[in-house]
Amino acid sequence: MADSIAARKGPVSRFLDSDLWFSFSHSPLTIVSAIVALALIGAAVLAPVIAPHDPFNLATLNLMDAFNPPAWVEGGNPDFLLGTDDQGRDMLSTIMYGARISLFVGFCSVIFAMVLGVTLGLVAGFVGGTTDAVLMRIADIKLTFPAILVALLVDGLVRAALPRELHDRIALWVVIFAIGISNWVQYARTVRGSTLVEKNKEYVMAARVIGLSSTRIMTSHVLPNVMGPVLVIATLNLGFAILAEATLSFLGVGVPPTQPSLGTLIRIGNDFLFSGEWWITVFPGITLALMVLSVNLLGDWLRDALNPRLR
Amino acid sequence: MFAFIVSRLFQALPVMFTVSLISFAMFAYVGDPVAIMLGQDYTEAQRQALIRDLGLDQPFFVQFFEYLKNAVQGEFGLSYRLARPVSDLILERAPATLELSFTAAFLALAIGVPMGVYTGLYRESWLSRFFLTISLIGVSLPTFLIGILLILVFAVMLGVLPSFGRGDTVAIGWWTTGFLTASGLKALILPSITLGLFQMTLIMRLVRAEMLEVLRTDYIKFARARGLSNRAVHFGHALKNTLVPVITITGLQLGAIIAFAIVTETVFQWPGMGLLFIQAVSNADIPIMAAYLMMIALLFVIINLVVDLLYYLVDPRLRGSLAGSAR
């Protein structure tokens, strides 16, 4: 790279000079959603350290503490800020651990979908011919069905194919696989499109002339040039992946109840809605909504900021 | 026109073939129907007899064509768990899902289009901002959470609407309808709002974006210069030209509505196909899953076909180019 002027400055000041930072610091909504997202991620990652109770340690659970309303409601216990559920687990701690599972599944399935989609798109675009036609035909068929339906189906199939205790042990990975597989097409199409453009450029020709293998050209020359839009799609899809996991878990076919995610917590709370214990549902629900909303707003901002044509 | 329909049908065939192959592979290789149907006590001779009766000793493709032949006639075998023909189960549940889905789609269109037109025309008004904020929340809240919140407010706290089931239904032949009784209509309100909300916000944003685009064009300026009334310009010229993408998206979203009916039906214990399917998934009831997959695929292929035809009818410019090229 020949931008020697920029290189002389430190990376921090270069970042502060960039268009990206300018559009970020001039959009209050984006700043707020970044703070909310960071706070939620922080709380989730640090849950084992900062959660006031350990909701999965059976020794500290006391059924006498069950159904405590939030601390500020009459009858609430200041020990349990957001109240407790049917087993006497502290809601605040349970939500922090639940957010941990939700974010973990969200991130992993986005990465899985991204790797799968980018690989297939790169191969389809670069190799062309029959490979391209077959891969894109599969993508078309996949697009005929809504992602959530594909995830449900994959999950159901794996559930039927595996013996029960094995499935319970790897259920988390099954969900990640199901959501990832239902979501790779967008990456593949985008990467294929940009690869088709890139592969006719001179640097690819030059790489061929000096005798590099196709694999080498694809991975170390074309790939870096087609990754830009992929990161935007990944951010936008993170919100979807978190929602998909919550939906699967709510339907009772997602992560196992021993590792409750936010969706599982809402499912559990749903049983107590009619007896008036609204906090068991509402707080995980608010957390989930905040998480998805902030991630979606960040994704929208990133898309607009990196694409000057949309301004 | 006729050539266009035929070419579209030929494109749909590989989709249906692939789906039925997947569906059959599920049926044939996942789980062990013989063990499930025999139960605990059986002799080896009984087992062999059952395998022969079910045709499981035949080669893969013979079995597959047998399966296809039955599927075309609407026969999908017996549910493992309920021990009843899958086709009966689905037929019994279909009216509930279809009534819910079409009501939701109708609501989404009837509310979404006017809201989109309004926010497109009056960009800066506070009501537009309010609508846009609502739509952002509508996109970020998961369907099941919206359903739960509606139940909490209207069924638990206010106690004005039922929280589960279809209410009383009237049977017309094999079709049962909730449209004809007061309790059936009341039971329909919350689920259809829950199901339609996401599509409503989507349609609103789409119509708004299209309106903004169209209002900038020269022919709108010309219409204004001719002294046409605002109403004639907005509805006669602008809205009409936004309809092509709206029709496409709405059509494709009809499929999404039927898929998301699974979630809504679970929240409201609505006795439709979605609830049947989700119970089948958690019980590994393969015949129901396979049949549901085939049926949804068929439905989607039909919807796509109808959308393509509408495209063709609404926009004369597309008639030359669309017929040859794949979408």
Q: Do A251 and B293 touch (CB under 8 A)?
A: no
Share of chain B above pLDDT 70, in %: 90
Chain B residues in contact with A278 by the CB 8 A cut-off are: 152, 156
In a domain, A93, yes or no: no
Quick one: average pLDDT of A238-259? Answer: 84
The enclosing domain of A272 has a CATH number of: 1.10.3720.10
The answer, yes or no, to whether residue A208 has pLDDT greater than 90, is no
**Cβ atoms of residues B303 and B251 within 8 Å:** yes
Q: Which domain range does residue A179 map to?
A: 112-310
Q: Calculate the alpha carbon distances from B84 to A57, B79, B272, B278, B314 in Å.
A: 44, 6, 16, 17, 45
Q: Which residue of B has its CA nearest to A161?
A: B30
How far is the C-alpha of A137 from the C-alpha of A142, rounded, in Å? 9
Closest listed residue to residue B288, CA positions, set B37, B45, B90, B25: B90
Q: Coil, helix or strand for B263?
A: helix
Give me the pLDDT at residue A114, please: 93
Quick one: average pLDDT of A116-136? Answer: 87
Q: Do A152 and B151 touch (CB under 8 A)?
A: no
Give me the pLDDT at residue A222, please: 87
**Cβ atoms of residues B177 and B184 within 8 Å:** yes
In a domain, A189, yes or no: yes
The answer, yes or no, to whether residue A115 has pLDDT greater than 90, is yes
Q: Do B139 and A296 touch (CB under 8 A)?
A: yes
Q: In this predicted complex, what is the ipTM? A: 0.76
Quick one: average pLDDT of B15-42? Answer: 72
In a domain, A166, yes or no: yes
**Per residue in B106-142, pLDDT tens?**
898 899 888 888 888 888 888 888 888 888 777 778 8
The answer, yes or no, to whether residue A62 has pLDDT greater than 70, is no
In a domain, A57, yes or no: no
How far is the C-alpha of A283 from the C-alpha of B3, rounded, in Å? 57
Q: Which domains does chain B have, with CATH numbers?
A: 16-51+59-64+285-327 (no CATH), 88-283 (1.10.3720.10)
How far is the C-alpha of A110 from the C-alpha of A99, rounded, in Å? 16
In a domain, A105, yes or no: no
Q: Do A145 and B296 touch (CB under 8 A)?
A: yes
Per-window interface: A 215-254 vs B, CB < 8 A: 239, 243, 246-247, 250-253
In a domain, A294, yes or no: yes
Quick one: average pLDDT of A31-42? Answer: 87
Q: Do B31 and A292 touch (CB under 8 A)?
A: no
**Cβ atoms of residues B168 and B183 within 8 Å:** yes
| A160 CB within 8 Å of a chain B CB | yes
Closest listed residue to residue A80, CA positions, set A53, A112, A98: A53
In a domain, A88, yes or no: no
**Per residue in B272-289, pLDDT tens?**
888 888 888 777 777 888
Q: Do B289 and A153 touch (CB under 8 A)?
A: yes
Best A33, A36, A152 residue to mutate vs chain B (most B CBs within 10 Å): A152
Chain A residues in contact with B296 by the CB 8 A cut-off are: 145, 149
Amino acid making up residue B62:
V
In a domain, A256, yes or no: yes
Quick one: average pLDDT of A126-149? Answer: 80
Burial of B285 (0-12, 13-18, 19+ CB in 10 A): buried
The answer, yes or no, to whether residue A97 has pLDDT greater than 60, is yes
Angle at the Cα of B67 (from B64 to B70), degrees rounded to 5? 150
Residue A294 neighbours by CB under 8 Å, 6+ apart: A33, A34, A36, A37, A40
Q: Do B137 and A293 touch (CB under 8 A)?
A: yes
| Chain A / chain B CB contacts < 8 angstroms | 113
Give me the pLDDT at residue B291, please: 85
Q: Which residue of A has its CA nearest to B143?
A: A247
| A152 CB within 8 Å of a chain B CB | yes
Total tally of structural domains belonging to chain A = 1
In sequence order, what are the beta bridge partners of A90?
Answer: A84
User: Which of B26, B142, B296 minimises the CB distance to A149?
Assistant: B296
